[in-house]
Amino acid sequence: MNINRAYHEQIISQYAQALLETRDKKTYPNIAKTLNRSHDEIYRFIDNASQSIDLAQEELVSLAKTELTEGATYFLGDDSFFEKMFSNEIEGVELGFDGSTKQILKGMRFVTALLTDAIKKIPIYADIVVSKLLGGTHYKSKSDILREIFLWTMKKIKIDRVIADAHYVSAVFFQEIIDLGSNFLMKISRSRRVTINRKTGQLRNLL
């Protein structure tokens, strides 16, 4: 078991590096080509999917610790839509807005996070966004998902600033960022209720 885990950890380090170095689509054949290994070996390596994901995330954060040396470390949160127009049996595929094409398409949306020092960028995490209908009692908003990713990352590396758009704004998230010694740069809707200099109201009326 220890031998298998040691082998798995050795390959995951190379796999994480290959994800960053593969310029074409991140398919098994292309990743295998980058690693100079057979794609059958990559398939076997991914058999234990949950362990592979956990180890890859750990390895990417470790890589960030050694590579992001140019000052502050920024945590960037965003989401990506993966079109699956011809998929009929993949759980999680739903209709959604694709920002790149400005169309409603069938696909899957992921909240993604990367670390950067404004020079190098290292992706560290991705988690699927599931609708309220499909998620039921386990539903998480995009803000909830990014908040969990941030808290997980903050245990492993110091983050100086969180950068994300208005979809991820929440009072709870803001407070946790501040409590953990970081700060944030996020767009806030002008209609949102905020407190500035002890006055509370819509942002548009306080500025």
Reported pTM: 0.69
pLDDT of residue 5: 46
With beta carbons less than 8 A apart as the criterion, state whether 111 and 66 touch. Answer: no
Q: 136-150 burial string, b = 16+ CB within 10 Å, else e?
A: eeeebebbbbbbebb
pLDDT of residue 154: 93
SS (H, E, C) 146-160: HHHHHHHHHCCCCCC
Token code pair at residue 59:
């390895």
pLDDT of residue 88: 72
pLDDT of residue 11: 57
pLDDT of residue 74: 95
pLDDT of residue 115: 94
pLDDT of residue 52: 63
pLDDT tens-digit profile, the chain (207 residues): 343 445 445 555 666 677 778 877 777 788 888 878 887 777 776 655 555 667 778 888 888 888 898 889 999 999 888 888 777 777 777 777 777 777 787 888 889 999 999 888 999 888 888 887 777 888 888 889 999 999 999 999 999 999 998 888 888 888 899 899 998 888 777 777 766 667 777 777 766
